[in-house]
Amino acid sequence: MSIDHQHTGADQALRQRADGLDAQDPLAHYRDHFIGTDTPLSYLDGNSLGRPLKRTADDIAAFIRDEWGGRLIRGWDEKWLGLPQAIGDQLGRAVLGAAPGQTIIADSTTVVLYKLIRAALAAVADPDRNELVLDTENFPTDRYLVEGIALEEGLTLRWIETDPAAGVTVEQVRAATGPRTAVVLLSQIAYRSGHLADLAGITKAVHDAGALVVWDLCHSAGSVEINLDGADVDFAAGCTYKYLNGGPGSPAFAYVNQRHLASLNQPIWGWMGRKDAFDMAAGYEPAPGIRGFLSGTPAIFGMLAMQGTLDLIEEASMAAIRTKSEMLTAFAVEVFDAWLAPLGARLASPRKPGERGSHITVDHPDFTKATVEDLWDGDVIPDFRAPHGIRVGLSPLSTSFGEVLQGMAAIRDRLQG
């Protein structure tokens, strides 16, 4: 058999496998809820910006017509003021493993993380604990924030050196923490490699050292099962425009463990976080509970889109979503082994599905930003991660196995020239 025939046979086998996986997928019908899934485009970047739901256009139109246009300013008293916590509670229930009253929608991820880190430092309130722990491969915002806070407060940074193709381990956290540790900031899923950290084990290690932990859940919320209450996490934040499909710039969420709320001291005092905000009274008295974590006027428009996804998640269950996530990335690795590894590509993600989130990264010396731009021009949309990585993000509710195969084929063809 010629090489061309061998390639054709292998391609056909992978196509049949993709078709079979799609046919057996119990979540396949959810794909029809999303705009654009009936087009030839292969979208492999849902972990950066999720597709919109078809119902979102109707939800926003109804909001403009009936609530904003119909109720006008009355909407604040009638419904809108309660939305940040109402949606936060649904997010906690459906995705985060958090009991009511601990999650709220507020600000951007950067601002929320700043509030949480400063609140955690205030909660420690021990001058001998003057170290902040973070890892070298965390998302830039996380690193920049901690560097800035350390400069503001005269604190010491302790860096965990992380393998870019892996992530932070419990053992590394135990080695980096001790009697001088105040706060540890980590991401549950490494934004580049997709490594899934042991959230419960690391949280325990941080607590054993007498410190507090802040988790960034941007790449995990909506793609893996999370149990913040069960792990006794102190603080967590995450964006809502990836697997939660909130839309470009939709506001982030903040989680604060119930045991910290009574003494919460967040640093950005705004009118919406004050007790009886509309009294416009002198002096700042924080609202009780998680509402005290608000600062400015809530971005109501930005919250509307994610409600549809949260409804779907509750219907499908995070357990089923996680199962499909593992199957999608496993299939992507299978295709990588068949098509890309022989061309000199390297898998820059954990090989075991249970050790990664819902994306993988493939490195090759020939991959550049221009490579991804060329793929985009051909309606195959992955993400580029410098210096030589293409990140393949797979959103379980909207991504099909056939879509994965189509996108990986385009990457192979680009490598072959």
Q: Show Cβ contacts of residue 133 under 8 Å, excluding neighbours closer than 6 positions.
A: 157, 158, 159, 160, 173, 176, 177, 181, 183, 184, 185, 211
What's the distance, Cα to Cα, between the start and end of the chain in Å? Answer: 24
Q: How far is CA 69 from CA 66, 95, 322, in A?
A: 6, 32, 39
| Rounded Cα distance, 185 and 97, in Å | 20
**Radius of gyration of the CA atoms of the chain, in A:** 22
Q: Is 379 a catalytic residue?
A: no
| Rounded Cα distance, 253 and 255, in Å | 7
Q: Is 324 a catalytic residue?
A: no
* 404, amino acid identity: V
Under a CB-based contact definition with an 8 Å cutoff, are residues 336 and 54 in contact? Answer: no
Q: Is 369 a catalytic residue?
A: no
Nearest partner of 160 among 149, 151, 144, 172, judged by Cα = 172
Q: Is 216 a catalytic residue?
A: yes
Q: Is 192 a catalytic residue?
A: no
Residue 10: count of CB within 10 angstroms of its CB: 12
Under a CB-based contact definition with an 8 Å cutoff, are residues 119 and 170 in contact? Answer: no
Residue of 11, 22, 93, 139 marked active site:
139
Q: Show Cβ contacts of residue 116 under 8 Å, excluding neighbours closer than 6 positions.
A: 214, 235, 236, 237, 254, 256, 266
Q: Dump the DSSP string for 189-250.
A: B-TTT-BB--HHHHHHHHHHTT-EEEEE-TTTBTTB---HHHHT--EEEE-SSSTT---TT-
Residue 369: count of CB within 10 angstroms of its CB: 11
| Rounded Cα distance, 206 and 133, in Å | 10
Residue of 25, 142, 216, 363 marked active site:
216
Residue of 55, 115, 192, 391 marked active site:
391
Tokens encoding 340: 């890309």
Under a CB-based contact definition with an 8 Å cutoff, are residues 8 and 395 in contact? Answer: no
Residue 307: count of CB within 10 angstroms of its CB: 21
Residue of 31, 55, 242, 291 marked active site:
242
3-state helix, strand, coil in the chain (%, to 5): 50, 15, 35
Residue of 30, 241, 384, 401 marked active site:
241
Q: Dump the DSSP string for 169-183.
A: -HHHHHHH-STTEEE
Could you give the residue numbers annotated as active site? 139, 216, 241-242, 391
